[in-house]
Chain A
Amino acid sequence: MSTESSPWEEHFGSRENQSVAAQLGMWIFLGSEVLLFTNLFVGYAVYRYYYPEVFVEASKHLKAEWAMVQTLLLVTSSLFVVLAVHYIRQGRQLLTVLVLVLAIGMGLGFLGIKGWEYWEHWKEGALPGEYYRLEELPERGGSLFFTLYFLLTGLHAIHMLVALGLLGWLVWGALSGKYTAEYHIPVEVGGLYWHLVDIFWLFIFPLLYLVE
């Protein structure tokens, strides 16, 4: 039954097996992503333990209310992505495209706010490592906070860019009618990736912006 145009592969034995294998593969990849971010979170925990006061002061240079807006954007985009999975399971391709485009718009809004924040840090001199020029904060701890800030948010932003590309590719696939109620494995696993990027931000938000 496997022709060149069919997305189903015979060596999986059954369609159910192919779907399960794709999802398991994605989950294992997500597990490796968790361990990648874990290293940065551990570094953050250790240096927050050593420089608690400096971290509180440094955190006041970040824009907590905009970070809340960013969190709301990501959480809402996650809703749209799960709706895309919901609709494509029912075979409603146009609705799937619509909610995916909405999710992409929110992701772009998130990155726009992030870019503006980076620009503000640049002007202020709140930069990582040896580029740190902030006078009000001690260099010890202060430069470490901003190093961790740029590493965590930067790695997250790179993941966002990849995830946005993935969603764009899903929009293209849904528009060209590749996904149906029977075959929608890419929408399911692509959605999983978007949600994981969302989850990372759920921790970055309180850890960096709401230090007290």
Chain B
Amino acid sequence: MTEEKKKSAWGYVVVWGVLAVLTVATWVLGTKIKLGVFSLPVALGIAVVKTVLVAMFFMHLVEQRGARRVVLPVSAVFLCLLLGVTLLEAMTRIRMARPDGIEEELEPKRPASTRTAPPGSGAKRLMGN
């Protein structure tokens, strides 16, 4: 424990300072400065940087060895796989199979007076959707 006695806590305070600055930066970029299409990648990029800082220094991942070091990155990989494949599926659906596309596509293209309601349209659906 002798080497622990010498170790200073200031390193943690520096990491905290960076985290606080990044937090305020996220808020300024998200509410004051409009980044348009870049807002989501920038916000997520900052969140990832903050996560790496917390995991590496606050969660002591830098001093871990072996399996303890791999678990968190591996779960992040699975997160990306689940997110990526699901989004790919959602983005490549034909319009009719999308929740916002059902009604429009099922409506027959003929005068309203001769229309019948599409099946199931009267029923109240879960989550108001």
Contact = CB atoms under 8 A, between A and B. Distances in A.
Q: Do A and B come from one complex?
A: yes
Interface string B92-109: 000000111000000000
Interface string A186-212: 001001100110110011011101101
Interface string B16-48: 100110011011011100111001100110110
Interface stretch (A3-11, A72-80, A106-114): A72-80
Interface in A58-78: 64-65, 67-68, 71-72, 75-76, 78
Contacts of B36: 212
Nearest to B36: A212
Given A23-B64, A35-B78, A143-B128, A91 B71 contact: no
Contacts, number: 174
B67 interface: yes
A45 B98 contact: no
A27 interface: yes
Contacts of B82: 38-39, 42
Given A72-B20, A130-B126, A212-B40, 16 more contacts: A23-B68, A42-B86, A46-B86, A50-B99, A67-B27, A68-B23, A71-B26, A75-B19, A75-B20, A78-B58, A86-B12, A87-B9, A140-B99, A143-B128, A191-B58, A195-B58
Nearest to A51: B100
Contacts of A130: 124, 126-128
A199 to B, nearest CB: 5
Contact of B27 (A38, A64, A82, A198): A64
A81 interface: yes
Interface string B38-73: 011001101100110011011110001001100110
Nearest to A142: B128
B76 interface: yes
A205 B20 contact: no
A182 B91 CA distance: 54
B110 interface: no
A143 B125 CA distance: 12
A82 B16 CA distance: 10
